[in-house]
């Protein structure tokens, strides 16, 4: 019997009515003789509500206790979905992350999965039940509840599919696949029939909200067949695959990703001596803050300026650390900007096409948009710009690279 892991996001289970619709969808799969493990998120808006509650009690909520609070959102959903299935005569059982034994490290609020004990799930499947698992959460070796960070339910779904050697992992959401960019920003954005893991990994890391980056990493590492589908509309969705395939050899750009959750920090007048980069970023890393783009200016008068970006949620904490660093190394000043955004173009075709960067910069120039920072890899180019120009930049680039639905040709797929 085929085994499928399905994941339903917050909007898919955002109300009792929608939870019942999901239950009917699951019943249809069961009728076709499929074993199912279903991963669910908290109901839409619930995680934000819980975060706000915590902040009302403690301005900077304790990380461990925050995980205790946040994990309750998914716990409500798994119970309701199990009840909805039982109400339509489908045997089902719900499991929290700790009941499954999804074991993580102890990095609260952004834990990483270390291993999964699948014995309980397999026993329930053998007994003929649909197993419903709370996404986004696990437990560390000391028994503390942990959460995997925003979008962590995707990671739970893919990790379970890998552990169970499932035939496919299906991610159900409020969009019917992966698009060339966010259709809410560009109305002419197109759904892609397929995209490589490599491209999807870049797009997820660069701000695409369709899948969490660690979910894509898991899927690529363990060759988990992964498909993005709409929760309540029929359709083929988007297949995420290891192979580029013949039809994917021609495209230059597959999609445009963007991220509003960026902030920029600059430390000026840094003594230009060996090891200075570590003296700056070492304390930032020790604070469990992830750094994204980095630029170091050419040395003048034996000093340099050093700029990097972090997630906007980490901005204030990173700024405090950087001010301490500046004082210890004798830097002149620290400046910050939380009103920036990152825009990126992604495509495996960039490997074999010249002039992509110049075309991107020309399009931004034509719209009067100044570039503050640039970062590149083999299949992507990212720029940091003023946040107020974000949507203008995305629309201009989408048109410049022929991704609009009314102008696209086979070469741009």
Binding residues, by number, are 7-10, 47, 74, 173-174, 179, 184, 209-210
Q: Hey, is 191 helix, strand or coil? A: strand
- CA-nearest of 40, 32, 39, 36 to 128 is 36
Handedness of CA 331, 335, 338, 343 (dihedral sign): negative
- For residue 300, the 8-state DSSP code is B
Integer Rg of the chain from CA: 23
- CA-nearest of 290, 156, 151, 149 to 218 is 156
- For residue 413, the 8-state DSSP code is -
Q: How far apart are the C-alpha atoms of 251 and 347, rounded to whole Å?
A: 7
Residues belonging to the binding site for substrate are 47, 74
Give the start-end residues of each E strand in 191-332.
Answer: 194-196, 226-230, 238-241, 255-271, 291-296, 303-311
397 — phi, psi (to 5°)? Answer: -70, -40
- CA-nearest of 278, 289, 346, 344 to 313 is 289
Residues belonging to the binding site for ATP are 7-10, 173-174, 179, 184, 209-210
DSSP H helices in 173-257: 197-205, 213-221
- The neighbour count for residue 223, using CB atoms within 10 Å, is 11
Handedness of CA 242, 32, 178, 70 (dihedral sign): negative
Q: Give me the half-sphere count of Cα atoms (radius 13 Å) on the Cβ side of residue 185.
A: 22
Q: Give me the half-sphere count of Cα atoms (radius 13 Å) on the Cβ side of residue 246.
A: 0
26 — phi, psi (to 5°)? Answer: -65, -40
399 — phi, psi (to 5°)? Answer: -75, -45
- The neighbour count for residue 375, using CB atoms within 10 Å, is 17
């Amino acid at each position: 019997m085929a085994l499928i892991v399905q994941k339903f996001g917050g909007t898919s289970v955002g109300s009792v009515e929608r939870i019942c619709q999901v239950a009917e969808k699951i019943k249809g799969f069961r009728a076709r003789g499929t074993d199912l493990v279903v991963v669910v998120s908290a109901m839409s808006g619930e995680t934000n509500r819980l975060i706000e509650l915590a902040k009302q009690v403690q301005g900077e909520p304790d990380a461990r206790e925050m995980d205790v609070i946040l994990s309750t959102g998914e716990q409500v959903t798994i119970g309701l979905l199990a009840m909805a299935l039982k109400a339509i005569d489908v045997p089902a059982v719900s499991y929290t992350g700790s009941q499954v034994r999804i074991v993580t490290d102890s990095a609260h609020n952004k834990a990483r999965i270390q291993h999964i004990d699948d014995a309980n799930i397999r026993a329930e499947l053998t007994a003929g039940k649909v197993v419903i698992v709370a996404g986004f959460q696990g437990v560390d070796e000391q028994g503390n509840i942990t959460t995997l960070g925003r979008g962590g339910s995707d990671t739970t779904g893919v990790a379970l599919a890998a552990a169970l050697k499932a035939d496919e992992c299906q991610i159900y959401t409020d969009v019917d696949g992966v698009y060339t960019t966010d259709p809410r920003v560009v109305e002419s954005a197109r759904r892609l029939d397929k995209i490589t893991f490599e491209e999807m990994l870049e797009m997820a890391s660069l701000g695409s909200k369709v899948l969490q980056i660690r979910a894509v990493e898991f899927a690529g590492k363990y060759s988990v067949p992964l498909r993005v589908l709409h929760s309540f509309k029929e359709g083929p969705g988007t297949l995420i695959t290891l192979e580029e395939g013949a039809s994917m050899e021609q495209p230059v750009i597959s999609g445009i990703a963007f991220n509003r959750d960026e902030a920029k920090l600059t430390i000026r007048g840094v003594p230009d001596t060996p090891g200075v980069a570590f003296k700056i970023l070492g304390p930032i890393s020790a604070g469990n803050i992830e750094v994204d783009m980095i630029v170091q200016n050419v040395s003048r008068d034996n000093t340099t300026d050093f700029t990097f970006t972090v997630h906007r949620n980490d901005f204030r904490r990173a700024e405090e650390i950087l001010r301490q660093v500046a004082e210890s190394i004798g830097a002149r000043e620290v400046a910050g900007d939380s009103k920036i955004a990152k825009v990126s173009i992604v495509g495996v075709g960039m490997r074999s096409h010249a002039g992509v960067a110049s075309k991107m910069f020309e399009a931004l120039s034509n719209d009067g948009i100044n570039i503050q920072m640039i970062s590149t890899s083999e299949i992507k180019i990212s720029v940091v710009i003023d946040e107020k120009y974000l949507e203008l930049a995305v629309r201009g680039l989408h048109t410049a690279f022929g991704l609009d639905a009314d102008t696209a040709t086979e070469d741009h797929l």
